[in-house]
Amino acid sequence: MDGLFTAGPGGPRLGDLVFWIGTPVIFLGALGLNFLRSLGASILRRRFITQHGFTPCSDQTKNTAARLMRLPGDPQTRLAILQPVETMIGRASVTLLTLHRRGASGIHRDARLLLLRLPGQDFPPSLFCLRPGERERRSPWQRLQSAAFQLTGDRPDDLVPLESHRLLRSAGLLSAWGPRGAHLHTVIDPLLLEELLALGSQGVRIIRCQGEDCALEIPIGFDGDLEELWPSLVRIVRLSDDADPRRAAQAS
């Protein structure tokens, strides 16, 4: 019976055979699974782009990069923008792109990013790290990805933490940063902020706002469906219009 499991002197053992055969099989299986996930995400992205009227806007890449650099973050960060497309929701523009960041420390962070321009808003510089949704909290790997993505975020030196840990937790936040003396519900209209913070359940991990711009960052590799985000984007635009003092003045 022993001859079934071991070879003669110097021959291969069963454990060695399992290792040398099993390891490549597991590796190739992981590669195949990753390829299928990437293919599925690409198909969903193309469908989303087509359904909501996005058009290529590579000619605006320099302007898009300048808008992103004005948002709170490390000014020494280098950005690379890939596959930018743009559409409109009412007066607001929505730019979808893939963003590669490289900080001064050399750390790379890749994200799918939605850049909103909300006319009439004047956000103070602010940055929010959102708590993951229930689906991600059930996955140890996605919890680890989310924590790593946020811990390596380039936070600006001129912003300070907002509010207490208990209040942040109740609002669905891991951390919030803004100007000195500001409070969580004064940096952004409370109803608009509530809608933005709800995006944590849909894969958004970091939100950066300043002026009329608001950037929503989703780490590459998360399984979030962009289609699930669209109703939230529409609500955010409508709430922004309602909070625009110029629109209110025109209505009166």
Residues 139 and 211 in one domain: yes
Residues 79 and 162 in one domain: yes
Residues 7 and 88 in one domain: no
Domain assignment present for residue 49? The answer is no
Domain assignment present for residue 33? The answer is yes
Spatial neighbors of 60 by CB under 8 A, at least 6 apart, are: 84, 86, 95
pLDDT in tens, 181-197: 888 888 888 888 889 98
The alpha carbons of the chain give a radius of gyration, in whole angstroms, of: 23
Residues 79 and 113 in one domain: yes
Domain assignment present for residue 37? The answer is yes
Number of domains into which the chain is organized: 2
- 42 membership: H or E segment, kind and range: helix 14-51
Find the domain containing 130 and state its range: 55-251
pLDDT of residue 148: 45
Q: Which amino acid is at 95?
A: T
Residues 196 and 74 in one domain: yes
d(CA 49, CA 86) in angstroms, rounded, equals 9
Q: Which amino acid is at 168?
A: L
Residues 172 and 207 in one domain: yes
pLDDT of residue 111: 85
Q: Which amino acid is at 88?
A: M
Domain assignment present for residue 79? The answer is yes
Domain assignment present for residue 76? The answer is yes
Residues 140 and 94 in one domain: yes
Residues 19 and 104 in one domain: no
Residues 202 and 126 in one domain: yes
Question: Which residues of the chain fall short of a pLDDT of 50?
Answer: 1-6, 35-36, 39, 137-138, 140-142, 144-152, 248-249, 251-252
Domain assignment present for residue 222? The answer is yes
pLDDT in tens, 6-47: 455 555 565 555 556 666 666 566 555 554 455 456 677 788
Residues 141 and 192 in one domain: yes
pLDDT of residue 138: 47
pLDDT of residue 236: 95
